[in-house]
Amino acid sequence: EPEVTQTPSHQVTQMGQEVILRCVPISNHLYFYWYRQILGQKVEFLVSFYNNEISEKSEIFDDQFSVERPDGSNFTLKIRSTKLEDSAMYFCASRALGSYEQYFGPGTRLTVT
């Protein structure tokens, strides 16, 4: 069964460093999402991406964040200068055209020290 994959599973970085989280959505999906979950808190929406542009973003998704679909399979989230409060589990999700069901990847745990 097709699934969303994410790499790495765990990333440790120092405050102020740039990180890139990678996702491979399900192959025929056209809508892509990033969410995050700080330990013990709700899952929060960051951004949605369709047709090579951002379609929606939350207040969390400020200038420190960016997304890109560099090729036909990968979808990335970049954090330019990480802060301690960026420590969280980051989930990628995707959905197909004509369906609103979102499928989530296993997540990348980001630890900022």
Partner 1 sequence: KQEVTQIPAALSVPEGENLVLNCSFTDSAIYNLQWFRQDPGKGLTSLLLIQSSQREQTSGRLNASLDKSSGRSTLYIAASQPGDSATYLCAVSYTGNQFYFGTGTSLTVIP
Binding-site ranges for partner 1 (CB under 8 A): 4, 31, 33, 35, 41-45, 48, 55-56, 58, 91, 93, 100-107
In whole angstroms, how close is the CB of 44 to partner 1 at the nearest point? Answer: 7
Nearer to partner 1, 75 or 103 (CB): 103
Report the nearest approach of partner 1 to the CB of residue 4 (Å).
8
CA–CA gap between residue 22 and residue 108 (Å, rounded): 9
Question: Closest approach of Cβ 43 to partner 1, in Å?
Answer: 4
How far, rounded to the nearest angstrom, does the alpha carbon of residue 17 sit from its chain's CA centroid?
17
Contacts of residue 76, defined as CB under 8 A and 6 or more positions apart, other chains included, come to: 20, 21, 22, 23, 67, 68, 69, 70
Q: What are the Cα distances from residue 77, in Å, to 31, 40, 99, 112?
A: 15, 22, 23, 16
The least CB distance from residue 81 to partner 1, in Å, is 25
- Going by C-beta distance under 8 Å and a sequence separation of 6 or more, which residues neighbour residue 16? 81, 82
C-beta of 15 vs 43, nearer to partner 1: 43
